[in-house]
Amino acid sequence: MSEQPDRYELRARQLRILAGLHRKRAAELDKAAEAALATRSMRRFAELLTEAEVRQLAEHPDLAELNVQLEGFYGEGPVRPDEEPTT
């Protein structure tokens, strides 16, 4: 029959398993940290994009007026041919 491992070998095996669990958790936390940084970057990108759009409309008020005119002429969204109002 095979010989039973002594208590030192068992303890070493337990510690290796625990170390593996810690490495797994550390990798999970590292991914979470990267996701937080990506979220910050995406929020900043959205803010800059909005600021640029507002600035562009302020520099070209005719674009805003044209947008309002087109929305009034064409309506809120596309209309399917079978749903067009008959006059």
Q: Is residue 30 part of a domain?
A: yes
- When pLDDT is cut at 50, 70 and 90, the band that residue 4 belongs to is confident
- Which token pair is 65? 């007026």
Domain that holds residue 32: 7-74
- DSSP 3-state of 44: helix
Indicate whether 77 pLDDT > 70.
no
CA distance 53 to 59: 10
Q: How many domains does the chain have?
A: 1
Q: Is residue 86 part of a domain?
A: no
Q: Give tens-digit pLDDT for 38-68.
A: 999 999 999 999 999 888 877 877 777 777 7
Q: Is residue 83 part of a domain?
A: no
What is the structure's pLDDT at 68?
74
Q: Is residue 1 part of a domain?
A: no
- DSSP 3-state of 16: helix
CA distances from 27 to 4, 18, 30, 39 (A): 34, 14, 5, 18
Q: Is residue 45 part of a domain?
A: yes
This model's pTM is above 0.75: no
Whether the Cβ atoms of residue 64 and residue 57 lie closer than 8 Å to each other: yes
